[in-house]
Amino acid sequence: MKAMNNSFQYCPPSGPVTVIYRDDELLLVDKPTGLLSVPGKAEDHKDCLETRVKATFPEALLVHRLDMDTSGLMVFAMTRASQRHLGLQFERRHVEKTYRAEVWGEVSPDDGEVDLPLIVDWPNRPLQKICAETGKLAQTRWSVISRTERVTALKLMPKTGRSHQLRVHMLAIGHPILGDRFYATGAALAASDRLMLHAESLTIYHPDGGKRVKFKASCPF
């Protein structure tokens, strides 16, 4: 397993929160790469998306998270009832999520699915690992958007929401995500100065009335 980089320094991007959609029940925002979703334990890790959102929308309530290095769409609830409603949708896997990624190498065939159970790699946490004996169900569908000999653009559709799921699943099929400081090495790591993973869309049931709605955040790469 790749050794952890102890020289990492948290330098979150500046700028206002990008609001994608807002109503009385929902707030959808576009998280930039390099910003924590929630505060870290260290004092210099307090700046995060949740804190920035609450500075403008004090009533906003956290529903889910994205990895610090992942950019893209996050939904906040504007009421406690909506938070419970959305939380159950994530728990019961009623939320459809799509991601855009650029991975190292020429991926073939045009689509497929990874079904490999994941569990935290305790000596190297927060890293995750595949373990058939103790891992939890983790499934990811993928399809090719475009490819070259060195890089393939993929649409990733996780059926489950395990920590680092997309990173580890892409590594497992031999195509690490570009710029992944946890799992990529060599040319795949050096190919990008950011993790090339973006949460592009969320499809949910609206807490008010139950209508199926889809939100998107444009991919920055």
**How many Å separate Cα 133 from the centre of its chain?**
25
C-alpha distances in angstroms, 108 versus 71, 143, 173, 177? 26, 10, 10, 15
Q: Which residue has the tokens 């910003």?
A: 35
Residue 67 annotated in active site: yes
Label residue 95 left, alpha or beta by phi (over 0 means left) and psi (-120 to 50 means alpha).
Answer: beta
Q: Which of 30, 67, 69, 180 is catalytic?
A: 67
Rounded Cα gap, residues 91 and 198, in angstroms: 21
Cβ atoms of 50 and 68 within 8 Å: the answer is no
Print burial letters for 39-69: b (CB count within 10 Å at least 16), e (below 16). Answer: eeeeeeeebbbbebbbeebeebbbbbbbbbb
Structure tokens at 93: 């896997």
For the annotated catalytic residues, the residue numbers are: 67
